[in-house]
Amino acid sequence: MPASSKKSVAKAGGQASCPHPQGILIPIGGHERKEQLPESETSEIPDIAPALILQRVVDELDGKGPIVVIPTASEDAEQAGEEYVEIFRKLGASRVEVLNIQTRQQANDEELVKVLQKARGVMFTGGDQLRLTALLGGTLLQQVIKQRYTHDQFLIAGTSAGATAMSTPMIYQGRNDAGMLKDEIHITTGLEFLHNVAIDTHFVARGRIVRMAQIIATNPACIGLGLEENTGVVITKGCELEVIGDGIVIIVDGMQCSSTNIHEIAPGTPFTMRDLRVHMLARGERYTLPILEQMHT
């Protein structure tokens, strides 16, 4: 199991300039099962995950505070919020609230954002990740979530678009079968909970490994994290990863690539990248993301 070699950059007084976040990230690849399968079905599939991914979210909360559902990405945000309230309550969450942010003004409203100060975690629903970054990026809401994730035992979960938006860079446009040609994939800055990692969802079902490879080719310091449907990861310390769910997680690592031509070719041209490393991890596997510590406070 690969692990990164980490060295802390010390400030005066011996304090590290970039401490590990105290919170937990749970990005999910979309289409997560919301109810347990009947025993008759699971007995025929011995390797099926015994617990729901969303149950893991509730278990990590450990009854220490409410979870806030943020359905901003969803086309029908009100319905999506209500659905997750019902699901989390059935799974044993003590308190569930919805923060339906639909404007940047709301995301900067101190009274609305106070809800997050009392929460134990948040859940971003699926939909359009560009709505999340366009409406939440740079707002008080984003700042509070980042602060709580960094300094408190605060949980951030998200499915599909809600998972993709966690990372920096963030994929926001590109067909499932695209990626072979330069500039077919569009990226922007995500919500910055996970740096130097690009998350993509529905990864195997929609054949998205080539578009991930193009992102890695543009800057091999970035790690690709591809999540299959009903599959997720629990990330602690900002880099320690555990796979959960029924499918696989694909990690695309270009740090040791020997060459690429993506900086030389014209847009619309197929790109080349040699010595790309790919890891395929199933439920229960652990992995340390080989990401570099930030050199700034």
Cα 254 to Cα 155, 158, 179, 238, 251, distances in angstroms: 29, 26, 16, 19, 10
- Cα torsion for 127, 207, 170, 223, to the nearest 10°? 140
Rounded CA-CA distance 228/206 in Å is 9
Does the annotation count 229 as an active-site position?
yes
Q: What is the DSSP track for 103-118?
A: SHHHHT-HHHHHHHHS
Rounded CA-CA distance 169/223 in Å is 10
Catalytic residue among 32, 60, 74, 160: 160
User: Three-class SS of residue 263?
Assistant: coil
| Structure token digits, residue 266 | 């014209």
Does the annotation count 259 as an active-site position?
no
Catalytic residue among 32, 60, 184, 202: 202
Catalytic residue among 32, 60, 228, 229: 229
* Parallel, antiparallel or unpaired: strands 231-236 and 240-245: antiparallel
DSSP 38: P
Rounded CA-CA distance 56/54 in Å is 5
The conformational region for residue 183 under phi > 0 = left, psi -120 to 50 = alpha, else beta, is left
Does the annotation count 285 as an active-site position?
no
Rounded CA-CA distance 98/240 in Å is 29
**Lateral strand order in the sheet of 194-195:** 194-195, 167-168, 197-200, 223-227, 248-253, 277-282
Active-site positions?
160, 202, 229
